[in-house]
């Protein structure tokens, strides 16, 4: 094949501007042009009607735009959560532990912890907390918290940037100060929900130690109360000190008794039994013997000094000492356990705070100075376009109505309905006129 034949063949494959259009395309273009021309003629024929409808639409849109209250927008941004410990503790809300954090995030379809934060912000727990914190039932003039939560959900939106992970909370409200308060309350309630539902190991340890500390503290208080009541009832302050003091007093009394008996023996060699000094020394010996008997708990010693003082005797002290030492030992053991648990409890609280997936605020909620909506010019533009579209549809409808055969069933039905309505209205007007006259 020659070069000229090849060029001719390639040229024939592609249409040029001089080639005639296919008959089908030419007919479709002509029909579309005719339809557009007919539509323009119909609209122009009723241009006064169209103009009235458009002016009415402009007026209504202007009234609606002026009646729309100003809307203010407050925004707060949160730092992306940590991908390590915080994210593991956060995923514990759903998966039950840090070991299953990756599996839980995969099943939930979450690419980053910020997505989970956004989901928690739209939860009922956070919204109910905001409603209760700011008393939105009264602010929105509603009857219950469910309705207030629905209004709040419409005012608040949260989204997470997939690239940076920054979370943005946007609040729209009629009051600029309330918009900022709602944004701050959303962050506060998010922290509360994360804190209440965190299932990290530090939290579980803190809860366990808190229960044990309270339990041991109660047992310690009960034991101390029992020891106090026992000591008060039996006059036992310190069994060991009391026994030592009683032994020292017994030795002293025995020494005095022996000395008195020696003196009495010497006096009896010189004086008779009726001598006053002999009788006085005998009384002294009898008194010392009674004190010794009372201290040792022997019968007949009830009038001794120990008995008069109300303290237990040596025999009673040996019996009471067992119970006293048992209560004291129990209290000392519980006190040592309580001190050790209290130290561990404080350390666990610190560790819980470190592992808690708390929210870090990047930009605090601002009080907006200017409105963010509505765009009144856009409302009027949309109203104008809608009214023009309605006018055009009415023109087409009127044209279709005029072309419809009067004997057609749809047209006859509509005419009958219109006639019935007119008859009803005329009857109502006649009755009103007669009642007035």
Work out the pLDDT band at 364, boundaries 50, 70, 90. Answer: confident
Report phi then psi at 119, rounded to 5: -65, -40
| Domain boundary assignment for the chain | 48-68+374-427, 72-199+357-363, 216-349
Q: Tell me: the pLDDT tens digits for 57-104? A: 888 888 888 888 888 999 999 887 665 444 444 554 444 444 444 444
Question: In this model, does residue 394 exceed pLDDT 50?
Answer: yes
96: left (phi over 0), alpha (psi -120 to 50) or beta: left
pTM metric for this prediction: 0.50
Q: Which two tokens stand for residue 436?
A: 């007035």
Question: In this model, does residue 170 exceed pLDDT 80?
Answer: yes
Mean pLDDT of 168-183: 91
The predicted structure's pLDDT at residue 13: 43
From first CA to last CA, the distance across the chain in angstroms is: 106
CB 160 within 8 A of CB 166: yes
197-201, 217-221, 376-380, 420-424: the lowest-pLDDT one: 197-201
78 bridge partner residues: 167, 361
Specify the higher pLDDT residue, 35 or 161.
161
CB 338 within 8 A of CB 216: yes
Q: Which two tokens stand for residue 347?
A: 């350390």
The predicted structure's pLDDT at residue 241: 58
Cα 390 → chain centroid: 50
The predicted structure's pLDDT at residue 182: 93
Question: What angle in degrees, to the nearest 10, is found between the helix axes of 239-270 and 276-296?
Answer: 160
Work out the pLDDT band at 169, boundaries 50, 70, 90. Answer: very high
Listing from the earlier edge strand, what are the strands of the sheet with 72-78? Answer: 156-160, 167-173, 72-78, 361-363
Question: Highest-confidence range of 21-25, 265-269, 294-298, by mean pLDDT?
Answer: 265-269
Residue whose C-alpha is closest to residue 87's, from 101, 76, 75: 101
Q: Which fold has domain 72-199+357-363?
A: Bacterial polysaccharide co-polymerase-like (3.30.1890)
Specify the higher pLDDT residue, 157 or 317.
157
Mean pLDDT of 20-28: 58
């Amino acid at each position: 094949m020659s070069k000229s034949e090849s060029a001719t063949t390639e040229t024939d494959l592609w249409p040029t501007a001089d080639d005639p259009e296919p008959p089908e395309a030419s007919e479709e273009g002509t029909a579309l042009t005719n339809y557009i021309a007919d539509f323009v003629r119909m609209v122009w024929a009723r241009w006064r009607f169209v103009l009235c409808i458009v002016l009415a639409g402009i007026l209504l849109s202007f009234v609606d735009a002026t009646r729309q209250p100003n809307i203010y927008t407050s925004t707060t941004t949160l730092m992306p959560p940590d991908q390590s410990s915080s994210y593991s503790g956060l995923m514990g809300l759903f998966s039950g532990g840090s070991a299953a954090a990756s599996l839980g995030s995969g099943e939930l379809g979450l690419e980053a912890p910020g997505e989970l934060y956004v989901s928690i912000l739209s939860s009922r727990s956070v919204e109910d907390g905001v409603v209760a914190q700011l008393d939105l039932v009264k602010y929105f003039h509603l009857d219950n918290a469910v309705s207030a939560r629905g209004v709040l959900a419409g005012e608040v939106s949260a989204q997470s940037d997939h690239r940076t992970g920054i979370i943005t909370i946007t609040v729209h409200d009629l009051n600029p100060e309330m918009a900022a308060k709602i944004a701050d309350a959303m962050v506060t309630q998010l922290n509360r929900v994360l804190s209440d539902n965190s299932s990290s190991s530090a939290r579980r340890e803190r809860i366990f130690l808190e229960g044990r500390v309270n339990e041991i503290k109660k047992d310690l208080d009960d034991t101390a109360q029992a020891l106090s009541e026992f000591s008060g009832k039996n006059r036992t302050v310190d069994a060991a000190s009391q026994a030592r003091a009683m032994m020292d007093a017994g030795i002293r009394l025995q020494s005095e008794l022996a000395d008195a008996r020696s003196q009495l023996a010497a006096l009896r060699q010189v004086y008779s039994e009726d001598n006053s000094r002999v009788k006085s020394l005998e009384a002294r010996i009898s008194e010392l013997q009674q004190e010794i008997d009372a201290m040792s708990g022997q019968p007949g010693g009830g009038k001794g000094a120990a008995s008069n003082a109300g303290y237990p005797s040596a025999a009673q002290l040996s019996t009471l000492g067992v119970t006293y030492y048992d209560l004291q030992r129990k209290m000392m053991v519980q006190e040592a356990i309580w001190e050790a648990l209290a130290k561990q409890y404080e350390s666990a609280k610190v560790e819980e705070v470190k592992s808690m997936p708390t929210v870090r605020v990047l930009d605090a909620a601002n009080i907006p100075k200017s409105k963010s909506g509505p765009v009144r010019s856009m409302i009027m533009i949309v109203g104008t376009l809608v009214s023009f579209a309605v006018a055009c549809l009415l023109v087409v409808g009127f044209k279709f109505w005029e072309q419809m055969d009067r004997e057609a069933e749809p047209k006859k039905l509509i005419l009958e309905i219109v006639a019935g309505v007119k008859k009803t209205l005329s009857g109502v007007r006649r009755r009103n006129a007669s009642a007035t006259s």
